[in-house]
Amino acid sequence: MRRRLLFLLPVALFAIVALYLVVGLSPERDPTLVPSVMIDKPAPDFVLPGLFDDGQGLSTDDLQGQVSLVNFFASWCVPCRAEHPILLRLAREEGVPLYGIAYKDQPDDSRAWLAELGDPFQRIGVDLSGRTAIDFGVYGVPETYVIDRAGRIRYRHVGPLTPAVIEETVLPLIAELRS
Amino acid sequence: MIVEIGHFALVLALCTALVQASLPLIGAARNNAAWMAVAQPAAQGQLLFVAIAFAALTYAYVTSDFSVLNVAANSHSAKPLLYKVTGVWGNHEGSLLLWALILALFGAAVSWFGDNLPATLRARVLAVQAMIGVGFLSFMLLTSNPFARLIPAPADGNSLNPLLQDPGLAFHPPMLYLGYVGFSMSFSFAVAALIEGRVDAAWARWVRPWTLAAWVFLTAGIGLGSWWAYYELGWGGWWYWDPVENASFMPWLLGTALLHSAIVVEKRGALKSWTILLAIVTFAMSLLGTFLVRSGVITSVHAFASDPERGLFILAFLVIAIGGALVLFALRAPALQGGGLFAPISREGGLVLNNLLLSTATATVFLGTLYPLFLDAFGAGAVSVGPPFYNATFVPLMIPLILVMAIGPMLAWKRGDLAGALGRLSFAFIGAAAVALVTWRLRSDGPALAVLGMAVAAWLLVGTLVELAERVKLFRAPLAESGRRARQLPRAAYGMTLAHAGLAIAIIGMTGASAWKQEEVRIMRPGETVAVAGYDYRLEGVERVQGPNYFADRASFTVTDGDRVVAMLHPEKRFYPVQRMPTTEAAIHTTGIADLYAVIGDPDGAGGWTVRIFHEPLVPWIWGGLLVMVAGGLTSLSDRRLRVGVPARRRQIAAAGAGA
């Protein structure tokens, strides 16, 4: 009998995977709504070395006193490439302070990547070990957080930013937090 | 008119497939030879009808018939003829038609060459193959008709995505599909064997050439795709762990496992139910790849036009085909007669370890690829776990696999002598240590993992050659004796040597490319020089050139090593006005040891250009290694085909003798 159960295992595993695939197809799926236990909590404490040789690192203290965005990125991440023009536009046209955290990415690669695509960030911290990302509760890159004046996380977006998310959610939220 | 004939032929193909999927199966159950015999003409008829449909669509493309929606959406009158033809499968509908064509081709091949199969097995295999055909043909006719008309017809078409207008990519999908669909054959054989309730050496002898053929095509397809990404995307990388790449890699990994476990079934009669399961899951991975690429559930750099409705259809098909096969497996596999016993240290043991490691590796790739999807169930979006995940999970599994790869072939069946095998591998050990030392001396700046990578590659390469030398008793017997043994060695043995050596060469390339790549990105003005890895790249100028359906900024670099001119590089940034889309054409000069790789970007408006120069050490070895692996597969295939045909031929000769 136990032997029989063993032979049922493949079909059971397949059923579970198929269920996930069905959920993946669901048209109501909205990747932008991610509940996070971190919402309205202060951003985790971190001190990261900087990406460039100017001695500027990134730490929790940098996030105080202004409304800012923290973006986790990596040069190996294909969706990051897709959202990059949006980050550049945010920094240049909307004047939103952007802080980057290079997630598990070799500094040389990050630098080359930013040299190629443009650098929208005011400061960039290097999170080689991924420790800070764990503290933030990052699922994977890219992820973006909106931080308010008091340094609390107010919004989290998983996956590449899209123009719709920026116009409908991120920019109104920033305006509200600033006023 | 011709287009309507194509559409009609597709409907006829579906009808034929329905007959082929039902009558032979019933005939096999009732032992009705006439009903079983329907399978052969049906399989050939299905091939004929799908071929007519394919020819009709090709005709529409070549004549630029824009009243066909598919042609208007994907072709353009100014496109070169080669890309008009390859455009047939450069889109969702057309690529499905290619799938169906190859599927029918494989089915017809069984009907032509399967004379020495038991009649019931052949009828069942063809019926299962036809069921897959029914799935794909109805998918096309119901949701993705390539022959849909567009009235009124536009004056010109949208043209093919310029990234796809490339010789490397033109032949990459057919290769991949030959691979994917080839595994449908192993699947059909596995399901037919479950229905029969019998798995024996003859079954394995039949499954192996199909699996091997599929594996050869898939290897070539993945190689072409990787090569294309390397020179066309202009990022200087050759593997991105992109979901679409993984979708082709997972069936490859499992197919490799299947190839090896089928040997055990054939030679020793063990691992039967495991091999059946592998055959089912390998094809499941092929279907899953199709699903991921076309449903839009996962973001990727090269996803097809995606559509949830189509995704639902493929998913339903996946559930029926694979779910059904796995239920059948749960019901019938426990009754399969197990075969020969073996000690843990034996050829069989080595192959089991190979299977375990390859399956686990597939599982890690599967998790990494579908992780965003599993997260989606909780509402998250398209995140990427990327190379750090695979480097931490996949690479550590490959190292023991490669270590065992050199030892396994040295072990005897049933009970092996590990100490003896290791003793005979002392050359390999010395080679690995020497390569590690040299690597460490030459590139002490590189990562430690690179030293390990080079060492295991050397271990595998030397180990594989030592195994061949052992077989022919090189240096132990007189040279004439060794030569005689070498001639008598079956081709399959040479196939294995080539395939394993090819992998070793590819690993050397992958290690070098990952560890010692150098990259320079900067703004350059004409006349300026940049030095990368000891070579000087001088930007001579940038000129505007006109292509058949694009214009381009073409840069000229002179690459010098000291005073010697090594190469002229002409990277282009092309612009395709019809789609308003730019592409980069990297310029690559290979020295055999390294690739010198230049890409031109956008002008900065002040006379300078963004320029990227990559120094890619050992990258050519990756493609070289893959070519050797493909050659190994083909060599082994030429052997198998003969052996499969032998019993039939012998029977004919015997019959002729009896007649005389």
pLDDT band at B60 (very low <50, low <70, confident <90, very high): very high
CA dihedral A144, A150, A152, A157 (to 10 degrees): -20
- Report yes or no: B411 and B418 within 8 Å, Cβ to Cβ: yes
Strands (E) in B53-148, as ranges, are: none
Q: Test B299 with A78 for CB contact under 8 angstroms.
A: yes
Shortest CB distance from B334 goes to which of A3, A23, A77?
A3
Whether the per-residue pLDDT at B200 is higher than 60: the answer is: yes
> Residue B37, exposed/middle/buried by CB under 10 A (0-12, 13-18, 19+)?
middle
pLDDT digits (tens, 9 = 90+) for B578-622: 766 777 888 999 998 899 999 888 787 788 888 889 899 899 999
Q: Test B291 with A21 for CB contact under 8 angstroms.
A: yes
Shortest CB distance from B297 goes to which of A14, A25, A158?
A25
For residue B508, is it left (φ>0), alpha (ψ between -120 and 50) or beta? alpha
Chain B hits for A34, CB-CB cut-off 8 Å, are 379-381
Q: B408 in helix, strand or coil?
A: helix
Q: What is the pLDDT of residue B305?
A: 45
Average pLDDT, chain B: 86
Query: Cα separations (Å) of B502 from A61, B214, B409, B498?
Result: 54, 18, 16, 6
pLDDT digits (tens, 9 = 90+) for B379-399: 555 566 677 788 888 888 999
The DSSP code for B334 is: G
Asked if the C-beta of A32 comes within 8 angstroms of chain B's C-beta atoms, the answer is yes
Q: Test A31 with B381 for CB contact under 8 angstroms.
A: yes
> 111-130 in A: which are within 8 Å (CB) of B?
112, 115-116, 130
Q: Is the dihedral of CA B97, B100, B106, B109 positive or negative?
A: negative
Q: Test A139 with B383 for CB contact under 8 angstroms.
A: yes
pLDDT digits (tens, 9 = 90+) for B241-266: 877 788 899 999 999 999 999 888 88
Asked if the C-beta of A37 comes within 8 angstroms of chain B's C-beta atoms, the answer is no
Place of tokens 């006349």: B527
Q: Test B299 with A160 for CB contact under 8 angstroms.
A: yes
Query: Cα separations (Å) of B636 from A80, B471, B491, B498, B506?
Result: 44, 17, 5, 9, 19
Q: Test A24 with B373 for CB contact under 8 angstroms.
A: yes
Q: What is the pLDDT of residue B298?
A: 59
Q: What is the spatial distance between Cα B331 and Cα B352, in angstroms, rounded to a whole number? A: 24
Q: Which residues pair with B522 in a beta bridge?
A: B611
pLDDT digits (tens, 9 = 90+) for B288-324: 887 777 765 655 444 444 566 777 888 889 999 999 9
Strands A98-103 and A123-127: parallel
What percent of chain B has a predicted confidence (pLDDT) above 70?
91
Q: Test B379 with A33 for CB contact under 8 angstroms.
A: yes
Place of tokens 């920094």: A91
Q: Test A157 with B242 for CB contact under 8 angstroms.
A: no
- Report yes or no: B619 and B514 within 8 Å, Cβ to Cβ: no
pLDDT band at B659 (very low <50, low <70, confident <90, very high): very low
- The CB density around residue B568, as the number of other CB atoms within 10 Å, is 12
Residue of A2, A3, A7 to mutate, interface with B, max B Cβ within 10 Å:
A7
pLDDT digits (tens, 9 = 90+) for B409-453: 888 888 888 888 888 888 899 999 999 999 888 877 777 888 999
Shortest CB distance from B383 goes to which of A3, A10, A141?
A141
Shortest Cα distance from B94 to chain A (angstroms)? 23
Shortest Cα distance from A31 to chain B (angstroms)? 4
- Which range among B86-90, B169-173, B476-480, B641-645 shows the weakest confidence by mean pLDDT? B641-645
- Report yes or no: B248 and B221 within 8 Å, Cβ to Cβ: yes
Q: What is the pLDDT of residue B376?
A: 59
Q: Test B326 with A10 for CB contact under 8 angstroms.
A: yes
> Residue B498, exposed/middle/buried by CB under 10 A (0-12, 13-18, 19+)?
buried
Q: Find, in chain B, the residue whose alpha carbon is nearest to that of A3.
A: B334
Chain B hits for A20, CB-CB cut-off 8 Å, are 370, 373-374, 376-377
Chain B hits for A77, CB-CB cut-off 8 Å, are 384, 386
Angle between helices B92-113 and B2-30 (to 10 degrees): 40
Shortest CB distance from B376 goes to which of A11, A29, A35?
A29
Q: What is the pLDDT of residue A32?
A: 42
pLDDT band at B341 (very low <50, low <70, confident <90, very high): confident
Place of tokens 């080595």: B350
Q: Test A29 with B379 for CB contact under 8 angstroms.
A: yes
- Report yes or no: B278 and B355 within 8 Å, Cβ to Cβ: yes
Q: What is the spatial distance between Cα B412 and Cα B497, in angstroms, rounded to a whole number? A: 17
Chain A hits for B244, CB-CB cut-off 8 Å, are none
Q: Find, in chain B, the residue whose alpha carbon is nearest to that of A33.
A: B379
Shortest Cα distance from A18 to chain B (angstroms)? 7
Task: Find the angle CA(B85)-CA(B91)-CA(B97) to the nearest 5 degrees.
Answer: 75
> Residue B81, exposed/middle/buried by CB under 10 A (0-12, 13-18, 19+)?
exposed
Report pTM: 0.82
Q: What is the pLDDT of residue B640?
A: 52
Asked if the C-beta of A77 comes within 8 angstroms of chain B's C-beta atoms, the answer is yes
Q: What is the spatial distance between Cα B437 and Cα A114, in angstroms, rounded to a whole number? A: 36
B607 closest CA partner among B539, B526, B552: B526
Enumerate residue ranges in chain A where pLDDT < 50. Answer: 29-34
As given in the structure block, the two tokens for residue B251 are 């069936």
Q: What is the pLDDT of residue A37?
A: 62
Query: Cα separations (Å) of B300 from A78, B361, B406, B475, B582?
Result: 7, 21, 36, 53, 19
Chain B hits for A136, CB-CB cut-off 8 Å, are none
**Across the A/B interface, how many CB contacts are shorter than 8 Å?**
133
B594 closest CA partner among B571, B622, B569: B622
Whether the per-residue pLDDT at B126 is higher than 90: the answer is: yes
Q: Is the dihedral of CA B226, B600, B584, B560 positive or negative?
A: negative
Shortest CB distance from A25 goes to which of B299, B315, B319?
B315
Chain A hits for B318, CB-CB cut-off 8 Å, are 18, 21
Q: Test B379 with A31 for CB contact under 8 angstroms.
A: yes
Q: What is the pLDDT of residue A27?
A: 56
pLDDT digits (tens, 9 = 90+) for A89-106: 888 888 889 999 998 888
Residue of A76, A109, A161 to mutate, interface with B, max B Cβ within 10 Å:
A76
Domains of chain A in sequence order = 30-178 (3.40.30.10)
Q: Which residues pair with B539 in a beta bridge?
A: B557
Q: What is the spatial distance between Cα B651 and Cα B660, in angstroms, rounded to a whole number? A: 14
Chain A hits for B277, CB-CB cut-off 8 Å, are 10
Q: What is the spatial distance between Cα B476 and Cα B409, in angstroms, rounded to a whole number? A: 19
Residue of B298, B383, B521 to mutate, interface with A, max A Cβ within 10 Å:
B383
